[in-house]
Every structure is written in structure tokens, then in C-alpha cells.
A and B are shown apart, each in its own frame.
Chain A
């Protein structure tokens, strides 16, 4: 496999903050809104430089969603930021009515997504957000894998016309994709080509999948590693091509077993190319307090579990 050079460690939410700033610098229509989580959403730079385009909404997420919808109709490009749970579960009806059904150009900046939110615990950790958001017609769902990809995805989200759900995380994670990359919404990215098994991964699990790839390579197993950064619309063509090639699939995500990338790909393959599949996800469980690294391990969201899943999938071929 290729060599992946880690150029640093940074939280993906910083990628969002820097991407937002870039987007805002280049387009005066970009507006940032938050529900009392300015520093957490890394919006400080944007707010400091473009105060007339920063809207503090206070701890009132439902109103923030509706206000963003109305604002977007006047020609602005609003990014609304809060913790993932509070811009999905908490305001699901509002997102559905005002953004999805209203077809408004609102970008949901969803921070601290998944179990890696850490110590705050399960009231704050959402592992169901992808399931909720991808069920909405017309909602684009993006889960980038590192700082650089998140920054690029944020810029792409600003340019895209339509509702976007952009999910990123709290902890510092390795940076291993190119800086100044251009993010293409809807395109799967093949990191490694392989022949024995395909590992589809998204978000924080992409790096883990690459570590698993190395472990498997040492065992003589050729794994194909594909980054599904855009969960919806899914790059079905890439998914099918790979599944038909390797005939064994693993899907890895920092999400519940219900309704995330795993079930999405399972649905596609069940219809078009039934393939033995194994799944790496957080199961049917709530999160809990812990450090991000501890929690990833405890919930089976690491390279070791991905490699084991790959061996199992191959054994079922």
C-alpha cells in the first residue's frame, strides 16, 4: 500500500472553522450562525473578521434553523453550528420542514459528532445523526475524514446549492489527506486498490481503515480502502464496482448500527450485488463518558476491529 504521511494532528472542527473563514472571505453571502457555541464550532476567526455576517442565536436551536432558512432565501448562505445532537435530534422537525421540505440553502455544521465527543457523555453524543439526516429527501450528508478534507468539504458545501449536513468531530486526529484538495460532493475516494476485500469507511474511521489495511497486507490480504466522505448522495457506481471486484465488504463508521453508512451500503448491495458484509459501528448502544481514544476502543471502532471484520467477510466468500 501507499505510504501515508501524517502532516499533523488537528480536530476536524478546526477544518470546518478554517473552511468557513475561507468561504466567507471569498463570498460575502456566507453567514455564520451558532447557538451559544462559538468557540466549540471554531467560528471565532469568522466572527471577528465578519461581525456583520455572524449571528449569535443563543441557546435556541429551533429558532436558529428557521431563521437560517429565511435568511437563505434572501440570498445568504447560512452555516448553522452546534453540537451534532442539537442540530439533528433536537430540531429534527425544524430541519425537515424549514430546510429539507423548504429546499432552503442552509448548511448544517454539525460538530462533536459521534462517540468521540467524549467526556460530556451520552446526552451530548449522537450516534444516530446520519440515520436522521439521510432519511430527509434532498439532504446532502458529508462526513470528512481529517482536517484538510473537512476544510475542503466546507468550501464545497458553500458552493453547492441546496441543504447540506456536514458532520465533524471534537478530538485531534491525524491529517493525512492533501492540503488544498478540492472536495467533490458525491464522489467516493479510493485510497488503496485491493482485490480480497473492500473496506468502506467514513469520517474518523478512514484513518483506522488505513491502519487495518497495513495489518492485513502483512498477512497477505489485499484490501481496497474507499473513503465514503459523501454518505448522501452515495457514489453507488464506485460502491458496486468495488463490491463486484472483491466480493467481500466491510463498512466502518462512528455511528449506530441503525441507519448509517453500513445499512445504506447493505441496501444498495442487497438490491444490486449481494455480497458478504461485515460491519464496524457503535452497535445499538448509547455512548458514555471517556476520552475519545478510550471510547473508540471500547466501542470497537478501531483498526483491530476493522481488520477482524475483513477476515470474517473474506471467510464468508
Chain B
């Protein structure tokens, strides 16, 4: 279980991994990967009960994580690798033909740590619900986590899942949203017009925790503690984040949702991110 200082160092390295692997792949999704790096780091290096050495796709006797916003594969893969699920060197194979690190996470290539494919938005939360249901049926007291995008929350199925989880009192389900306010065609408030996510999730009967700075580890960890204590209600942690956070020319714009940096841009980005654990 890492402390805040260690989490900060790990997150910095994961940001370097993201920028490098997407550049090398020539495509991929750096913006949202960078905005969710801190919460993913907190999850895998502090919050989640898991062990890569004994991991199975059943998630038995451990916490489970389902990436619903599947395009955030870069941060997911980097986090899994740094947490010990597969060799860090493999990160350089992102999206290459024959890779285990497909453009969007899948189970076909047998990449350790991945529970379900995702990429078609709005579906992962339902799979997470399935895990949560199974654990309840088995009397297992572990948690199921899921990362959603705010743009993704425009998908209707997210709200089918929201109704179901609250109705079935899945208090072992902790979802969190990378509320960076951006999507492909522009700012969420202009494109999808989602409105206030806190009001919406609350209205659907969830235990809502808003983290006003989704890059502050103290606040992120505190939010998960509150979520874990929820009784009778699933939890939604809404993290206000900045798309492209950590790289000044990627931050605060929608433009880096799905664009790969050039070699020059990558180098400019890396100059802003401390190498802490050693580049792959």
C-alpha cells in the first residue's frame, strides 16, 4: 500500500509510459489516460485488494476492476504493468500487430489483469455489476471498481446500470468517473450537455462523492474510504480532472482525446514528467 509520495512518483512514471507508448503506436488515447492516471495509480497501488501473482479472471477473493471507458487502455496497461501484471517492456507493443496490448482491452490475447473487453462505451459498468452480484451471491466481501468517462456517461446503458445497481443495493460496487469535461467534438457541456453528474447519480440512488481536485492523492484516497463504508448503496466517485493533465500543451483542451504525439511532442512532454521508476 503506497503512501502519497510513492503514489506521486508512480503516477509520474505512468504518465511517461502513456506518452511514450502512444507515440510509438502512432495512435491511441493520451488525453483521458493522463487525466485518470492519478485515480488509477491510487486504485492499483493503494485502494484495491489484489495480487498479480494469484490473479484470475474470476476475481475470486480479491477486488475486481472493470475499465468501462475502454479507450483509456494506455493508462490501464501502464498501471497493470507497473503493478506487476506483465513485463513493463511490453508496453512498447501497444496496438502493434500480434500484440497482447490491443487498441482496446480484450481477453483474447490473454493479457494478465484484464477481466473483460471494453471499448464500446457504456458497457463496462454492467459487467462490473455482474461481478458485484456474484460476490454478493457468494457472500464474498470484496469490492468491484469501474472507471467511467463523463462523455461515456451519455450512453443510455450507463443509466440502466445505475438504476439496477441502486435497486439491488450493490454497496460492494464503487464506480468512479474521470470528469474531465471533454469529449471528441469539444467540451461535454457543449456536445452532450450532460449537466451536473453529482445531481444525476444522486437522483439515481447512488452514494455520490465529488473530488474537486481529481489529481490530489489525499482527496482521492479519502473518497475511496468513504465509498468503501457505504451500506446499501453503490458508490460513484466523481473526480474533477483535467484532460491531458501533466503535459502543458495537452492540458485543458479536448484535442488530445485520441491523438498520438509526434516524436518532438513526446520529448516535450517527457521533459515535464519526472522519470521515477525507469522508462521501459
* A interface with B by C-beta (< 8 Å): 31, 52-53, 55, 57-58, 60, 62-76, 78, 93-94, 97-98, 101-104
Contact = CB atoms under 8 A, between A and B. Distances in A.
B156 A70 contact: no
Best-surrounded residue of B123, B124, B135, B163 (most CB of chain A within 10 A): B123
Given A74-B138, A94-B123, A69 B130 contact: yes
Given A55-B133, A94-B123, A70 B116 contact: yes
19 contacts: A57-B164, A60-B160, A62-B156, A63-B126, A66-B125, A66-B129, A70-B115, A70-B126, A70-B128, A70-B129, A71-B130, A72-B130, A73-B59, A73-B131, A74-B60, A74-B133, A75-B138, A102-B117, A103-B107
A74 B160 contact: no
A165 B87 CA distance: 38
B161 A63 contact: yes
Given A62-B123, A75-B58, A101-B106, A67 B133 contact: yes
B121 to A, nearest CB: 10
A38 to B, nearest CB: 16
B123 A98 contact: yes
Given A57-B164, A60-B164, A73-B57, A67 B127 contact: yes
Interface size class of B (residues with CB under 8 A): 35 or more
Given A69-B130, A76-B134, A103-B107, A63 B120 contact: no
Contact of A58 (B58, B60, B123, B164): B164
Contacts of B164: 57-58, 60, 63, 67
Interface string B10-34: 0000000000000000000000000
Nearest to B130: A70
B141 to A, nearest CB: 14
B123 A71 contact: no
Nearest to A100: B117
Given A70-B133, A74-B60, A76-B134, A63 B160 contact: yes
B108 interface: yes
B137 A101 contact: no
Given A60-B160, A63-B157, A101-B108, A73 B138 contact: no
Contacts of A97: 117-120, 123
Interface of B: 57-60, 66, 106-108, 115-120, 122-135, 137-138, 156-157, 160-161, 163-164, 167-168
Contact of B131 (A53, A71, A102): A71
A74 B116 contact: no
Nearest to A70: B130
Nearest to B167: A58
Given A94-B126, A97-B120, 9 more contacts: A62-B122, A66-B129, A66-B130, A67-B161, A73-B57, A76-B134, A97-B117, A101-B106, A101-B108
B163 A66 contact: no
A78 B127 CA distance: 13
B254 to A, nearest CB: 25
A72 B57 CA distance: 11
B137 A73 contact: no
Contacts of B161: 63, 66-67
